Amino acid sequence: MADYLIGDVQGCYDSLQSLLKKINFSLDKDQLFFLGDVINRGDKSLETLAFIKAHTDNTSMVLGNHDFHLLACAFGTITPNKKDTFTDILQANNSTELLEFLLQQPLIIKHKEVFMVHAGIPPNWNDSIAVSQAKQVEQYLQSQDVGHFLTQMYDNNPRTWHKDLDKLEQCRYTVNALMRMRFCQADGKLEFKHKMNFDSAPRGYQAWFDHKERLLKNTDIFFGHWSTLKHVDRAHIYPMDHGCVWGGALSAIRLSDKKVFSVSC
Ligand SMILES: [Mn+2]
């Protein structure tokens, strides 16, 4: 029995199958946890999502910004852009079931005392704030109001979070932080322009995991999203997007011993 946590697949279904072969994935024994962005940019978004949905006894996932973007295009008023490659899902015979399945997925998974999230957790959030903020977004996604909700999530503001913000503002911050964040300030103020290595942080900002007083610094956090990060020498910090869709690698980390398995893409 093993738990494997897998970085951003982004529709690279063939690489996913090679990786599963490499870890000798067994439906009888193993659990797969996908760290978000399972679809988009790659050529087999439909196959990837269908695979996860077909094996829910063995699979779990958190939502990434690309998964969220598909939902906003399907249920909200957002239109796909030229680089989006998920029309195969929108046009599939079972499109409704696949999209409804995606709406049921969480923003955070807490499993055996570790956190899984697509981008990261703000330095000023503790365990209970992170879990409750994620839950608030999940409740909107599972409500009748989902289309209206998704359309209102496309904005970079508010940059900081406070419990007295109105609910939709809190959700917008949460979506941006948990699914898009790379650099922020100690108070969780977000920055969206820089995508490069964490050692070239924009002035006044640091990688979200590099703040000294970060509240979850003693908790293992596994995440994707930041494909240029690869390896950082930080305790409890596990970046798992190894750039599969950009010709890098697709990787899985085994939770029990933190051994990493990769296939080149
Ligand atoms: Mn992402």
The domain spanning residue 129 has which CATH number? 3.60.21.10
Instruction: Name the domain count of the chain.
Output: 1
Q: How far is the CA of 119 from the centre of ligand 1 (A)?
A: 7
Q: Are 189 and 204 in contact (CB under 8 A)?
A: no
Task: Tell me which residue range forms the domain holding 180.
Answer: 2-264
Q: How far is the CA of 178 from the centre of ligand 1 (A)?
A: 10
Low-confidence ranges of the chain (pLDDT < 50): none
User: Among 190, 195, 194, 193, which Cα is nearest to 175's?
Assistant: 190
Q: How far is the CA of 180 from the centre of ligand 1 (A)?
A: 6
pLDDT (0 to 100) of residue 199: 73
Is pTM beyond 0.95? Reply is yes
Q: How far is the CA of 118 from the centre of ligand 1 (A)?
A: 7
Pairing of strands 30-34, 206-207: unpaired
Q: How far is the CA of 28 from the centre of ligand 1 (A)?
A: 30
pLDDT, tens digit (0-9, with 9 covering 90-100), for 25-81 = 999 999 999 999 999 999 999 999 999 999 999 999 999 999 999 999 999 999 999
